[in-house]
């Protein structure tokens, strides 16, 4: 049975739209690119979308990478278009960075580094979640 309370909560939370969790490293599969395509289409339809980077997904954000050295088209460069698509909420899991001995040096601006609990809370404020 569905209570009307749940319905209200749903409608409220819908404001926060879709969360996409990126969990894969950038240069060994299509996952990062496939997630990016979803994010950009949501942006172009003016639907709210937030990006979360966790686990090896954090490598997608790291500065000074160069996909052309391994003959791959550098889709990471398209991340700089996030502003244009009004994709403003970009979260990275601090613990994932620490585990990988990575500095908080990213190739795009306005990345929010969050501890696990806050990362979980930010994720929780979204209506739908896809993970790539």
Partner 1 sequence: MKTLAVVVTTPPYSPLTVTALSYVETALVAGINVIGVFFYQDGAMHANENISIASDEYQAIAHWQRLQQQYQLPLHICITAAEKRGIACDSIDNEQINQAFTVSGLGELVELTTKATRLVQF
Partner 2 sequence: MSTLHLVRKSAFTTNDFAQCLSVLDQQDSIVLMDDGCYNLKHPLMDSLIKRANSTISINVISNHAQARAIETLAVVKQIKMNDVVELTFTHQKVITWQ
Contact with partner 1 (CB under 8 A) among 29, 80, 99, 125: 29
Picked from partner 2, partner 1, none, the partner binding residue 47 (CB below 5 to 8 A depending on kind) is partner 1
The rounded distance, in Å, linking the Cα atoms of 97 and 59 is: 9
CA angle 3, 13, 48 (to 5 degrees): 145
Task: Answer yes or no: are the C-beta atoms of 15 and 126 closer than 8 Å.
Answer: no
Kindly state whether residue 9 participates in binding partner 2, applying the rule CB under 8 A: yes
The interface mask with partner 2, positions 55-94, x = CB under 8 A, is xx--x--xxxxxxxxx-x--------------------x-
Signed CA dihedral, 99, 102, 103, 107: sign only: negative
Determine the Cα–Cα distance for residues 114 and 30; give it in Å rounded to an integer. Answer: 26
- Running DSSP on this structure, what letter comes out for residue 116? H
Sheet holding 18-22, edge to edge: 111-114, 90-93, 49-53, 18-22, 128-131
Instruction: State which of residues 8, 11, 15, 28 lies at the interface with partner 2 (CB under 8 A).
Output: 28
CB of residue 108 vs partner 2: minimum separation in angstroms? 14
Q: Give me the residues that bind partner 1 (CB under 8 A), please.
A: 2, 10, 18, 27-31, 34, 37-38, 41-42, 45, 47, 70-73, 128-132
Q: Give me the residues that bind partner 2 (CB under 8 A), please.
A: 2, 6, 9-10, 13, 21, 23-28, 54-56, 59, 62-70, 72, 93, 95, 99-102, 116, 119-121, 123-129, 131
């Amino acid at each position: 049975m569905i209570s009307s309370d749940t319905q209200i909560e749903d409608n409220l939370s819908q404001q926060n739209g879709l969360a996409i969790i990126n969990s894969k490293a950038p240069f060994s599969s299509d996952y990062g690119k496939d997630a990016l395509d979803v994010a950009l289409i949501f942006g172009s339809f003016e639907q709210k979308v937030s990006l979360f980077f966790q686990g090896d997904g954090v490598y997608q954000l790291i500065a000074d990478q160069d996909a052309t050295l391994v003959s791959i088209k550098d889709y990471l460069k398209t991340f700089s278009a996030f502003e244009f698509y009004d994709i403003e909420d970009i979260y990275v899991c601090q613990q994932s960075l620490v585990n990988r001995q990575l500095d908080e040096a990213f190739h795009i601006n306005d990345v929010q580094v969050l501890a696990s609990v806050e990362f979980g809370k930010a994720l929780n404020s979204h209506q739908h979640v896809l993970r790539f």
